[in-house]
Structure 1
Amino acid sequence: MRCVPEARPGAAATAPGAPPEPSDSRSRIAPWASPAAQQRLATLEARPTGGTTEVAAAVERAQRDHRDRVADGLMLYAGTNVLSPGVEAAHDGSLSTRPAMGWPGEKEQTAVEEIEQLEVLAIGQVAHALRGRYAEVRYLSATMANLAAYVAFTEPGDTIAVLSPEAGGHTSHQEADGAAGIRGLTVAHLPYSPEALDTDAVAVQAFVEQVRPRLILVGGSVALFPHDLGPLRAAADRVGAVLVYDASHTAGLIAAGCFQDPLAEGADVVTFSTYKTLAGPAGGAAVSLAAEHAARLAAAAYPTLLSNYDPSRLGPLAVAAGEAVEQSPAWAVPTVECAVELAARLHALGLPVIGQHRGFTQTHQVVIDAHGLGGARAAVRRLASSGVHAGTCRVPWQRPGTPPEGIRFGTQEFVRRGGGIDLVPAVADLVHQCLTATDVAPLRAVTRDLRGRLTCDLWGRPAPAPAAADLPAGPR
């Protein structure tokens, strides 16, 4: 007997497999979305798909076009990266459908002995890379790792102290629309010094004694300089708080020995993304030195936040962590050097680069104040129309609730794709022209020419051939 699925509502009026015609201009899949999202979604939803063969072709076309867009442009977004050949080779997608719940030796499933081996490899490599004794690697994102820390060390109704979004704190640290709010926590923002671009070491003492948070969290989305963890550690000890450091953007630099060592400097737990500077598969992790902290983080992972997870991440993550430590080929030091040079060049060209008095940056990130450039969102769109890809961020002196006023660049993918400090002056000139020129249309050819000078990546892989035709700038 053949099973025939019931027709979807409205399907009779359309060709088999085609989406129903919208009754108005709203998106069918997210009619609650913003006007800008509605417009984009309506365009995408209007594209015919048909049956499985047509869907597969549309998938292949979208993936190819994305590869072409990246190949033709200059990727300076601070939260992305390109995988090494070793990390790519370690990925086995067939593992992603294999549940493996619990610790090795007490799994709920059988036929998972090799996944147990991969778990041990990944845990060992990640813990070693971040200079910890214990690692939890099953989290699906750094946001989940942060939520796990809240579950592990707080109770609903507790207060935590974090950086504000303007000071670089991530959404997952916040109470409104953030993971902290999901846990039912009250969020207090740490005193911050815009001049020091760090917490206010003097004010934080009295603040913590008054607020008495159960958890203090620093690090996050904007990471130009190390945090002074000494005063935070002392304050945490006085009130019995756990000190957590979100190294999502700097984990790879920490592993390479090119940035501060949070655990050695006083943090109890380090959470992080595994795909940014660490250059592994997408996901999150946490490391610690104390078994008590590690046991709580593991219990928060399973069974609290996860049942199954994606074991196909384990092999690539183990390799990426090892590569970040070994630095062969070296990418961490050149990444920071290129960021410092890019910031200095942009400043010399008259752009308001943040952090001049401290040398601009000590990481892969460079931040420009875009208040005088029409705002960060408009500036990032101008860059994208020229094939230069960056992101927005908030800056310390802007008002809460206002649109982002910072442009955040990152040099990590530029370096791993073969870029060196010799090309940074040309990159800075291009960025400056994109942000100041009246007509940016001719700059797309400049970007393509500059991108063509990256002939091979750090591992000798030749750069992808340019697309046969320009892809439309911005959303398609």
Structure 2
Amino acid sequence: MDHSTIAPWASPFAQKRLVALEKLHAESSASQVAASVGQAQSDYHVRVNDGIMLYAGSNVLSPTVAALHDPALSTRPALGWPGEKVQTAVQEIEHLEVMTARQVARSLNGKFAEVRFLTATMANLAAYIAFTAPGDTIAVLSPEAGGHASHQQILGTAGIRGLTVQHLPYSPRNFDIDVGAIHAFVHRVRPRLIVVGGSVTLFPHNLGPIREAADEVGAVLLYDASHTAGLIAAGHYQDPLDEGAHVVTFSTYKTYGGPAGGAAVTDSAEFAERLSEAAYPILLSNYDPARLGPLAVAAREAIDQSPGWATTTIDYARELAVQLDSLGLVVVGRHLGYTQSHQVVIDASLLGGGVAAVQRLERDGIYCGACRLPWQRRDTLPDGVRLGTQEFVRRGAGLDTVADLAKLIHRSLIATPGESLSADSIELRRRVTTDIWGRHVDVPVLEDGSSV
């Protein structure tokens, strides 16, 4: 088998795809590269407009947020605080920094916000720098309990800081920390930082007992709201800072609806200063000021909910879970009402596992992701399918589409090999042609009636 020239170390599965792509892309001029880039971008929009996007970690921007992105700002360094910038001619960027910090802090009901992080993983690393030293212990959720890779020691960001990671006691039945065991655990482990929140977030955390335990050993409690920040800003999920978290980190897209990036919010001036110093000069030299204006607007839109999407997003997730369960799929969290967020998780262990299930759905034009389940062994592949409703709702899907979507997902997961349901996905997608801002989206169709 041929090997990739750009990643010869990649897995056999990646090698096959990489080699095919490298054979296609041997462009030898700027005009050829531009043409290929334009084609790839065009094909992406066709795929998204033609399919059903249920990935829990993506979203679509509002018209205002998208229109305010100015790439000219991206190449303008603006280091330091307003009034003492290293560079000149950046006064307008100072306006954007102040507006964005204030709006992002307000959206999470905090006093201080650091908004320069390029990812939430970078925001988490900043927290490790701010609140721990190499060799310290932190306590986080395991991957099976929904903990993100940036929380982990092995192949994770915490390991880069030289931290020892201990996994918090967890109750799979409650989908939350085992509050009966948390006090004994923290006194035994003595963590400097406790991290909750993460990738699979069906239900709020019971933060009170966790904060009490953190205070007993002098630990900082960090809440990673990467998936739920937009719901929090809208007032439709728990308020982490009010309920006991010292710091909230999050992705600025996903449910938040802003440009890609990360942020951290806190009520503590001391903690905010530490996070700021971790951002610059430790982790960042330059950053992308073009993110700021769109992010400020996205923060305010998440608060104002005009047009509203958060209520429908959660209602859609709950109803989708009910419908999937009624069709015979194993939807986790049934005894707790399935979900209180934008996420729905299917146990696909009897369907060949989460990875295979996600691949079947993708072939039928339904895009989602695999996840681990709390009762899995750590040496096994993900058994869960994680669905997110936020993007489909913002693209205009109403509750009148839930039953048909559930039937389509069910049929896709139990379909016989070789059976394609992509035409049915396109048909359902064609019913969602106007997004929540009133923008009409035409689904590209060939003369024979098939999808592009």
Does TM, scored on the shorter chain, surpass 0.5? yes
Give the corresponding residue for 2:229.
251
Identify the match of residue 30 of structure 1 among 7, 19, 31.
Answer: 7
DSSP 3-state at the match of 2:255: coil
Contact 1:69 1:471 in 2 (8 A): no
Structure 1, residues 195-251: CA drift from partner, whole Å, max 9, x if none? 111000011110001000000000000000000001100000000000000000000
State how far apart, in whole Å, the 2-side matches of 1:311 and 1:401 are. 42
State how far apart, in whole Å, the 1-side matches of 2:303 and 2:409 are. 32
In the alignment, structure 1 residue 40 sits paired with structure 2 residue 2:
no
Give the corresponding residue for 1:13.
none
Contact 2:444 2:451 in 1 (8 A): no
**Percentage of pairs with the same residue:** 64
In the alignment, structure 1 residue 384 sits paired with structure 2 residue 362:
yes
State how far apart, in whole Å, the 1-side matches of 2:451 and 2:353 are. 25
Contact 1:77 1:408 in 2 (8 A): yes
Q: Superposed, which structure 2 residues align to 1:69-468 within 5 Å?
A: 69-439=47-417, 441-468=419-446
- C-alpha displacement of 1:401: 2.5
State how far apart, in whole Å, the 1-side matches of 2:418 and 2:261 are. 36
Aligned length: 449
Structure 1, residues 404-433: CA drift from partner, whole Å, max 9, x if none? 111000000110000011110000000000
State how far apart, in whole Å, the 2-side matches of 1:39 and 1:467 are. 30
- C-alpha displacement of 1:364: 0.3
**Greater C-alpha Rg:** 1
* Larger deviation, residues 47-56 vs 422-431: 47-56
DSSP 3-state at the match of 1:409: strand
- C-alpha displacement of 1:455: 1.6
DSSP 3-state at the match of 1:408: strand
DSSP 3-state at the match of 2:256: coil
Equivalent AA in structure 2 for residue 40 of structure 1: R
Equivalent AA in structure 1 for residue 324 of structure 2: L
State how far apart, in whole Å, the 1-side matches of 2:10 and 2:65 are. 36
- C-alpha displacement of 1:465: 2.9
Structure 1 unmatched runs, 5+? 1-23
State how far apart, in whole Å, the 2-side matches of 1:316 and 1:291 are. 25
Contact 1:434 1:440 in 2 (8 A): no
- C-alpha displacement of 1:470: 6.2
TM (norm. structure 1) is 0.93
Tell me: CA distance 1:290–1:198, structure 2 relative to 1, closer, same or farther (3 Å): same
- C-alpha displacement of 1:58: 0.2
DSSP 3-state at the match of 2:242: coil
Contact 1:138 1:301 in 2 (8 A): yes
State how far apart, in whole Å, the 2-side matches of 1:401 and 1:122 are. 42
TM (norm. structure 2) is 0.98
Structure 1, residues 28-79: CA drift from partner, whole Å, max 9, x if none? 0000011111111001000132311111000000000010001110001100
Equivalent AA in structure 2 for residue 25 of structure 1: D
State how far apart, in whole Å, the 1-side matches of 2:164 and 2:418 are. 46
Equivalent AA in structure 2 for residue 64 of structure 1: S
Equivalent AA in structure 2 for residue 449 of structure 1: E
Tell me: CA distance 1:470–1:96, structure 2 relative to 1, closer, same or farther (3 Å): farther
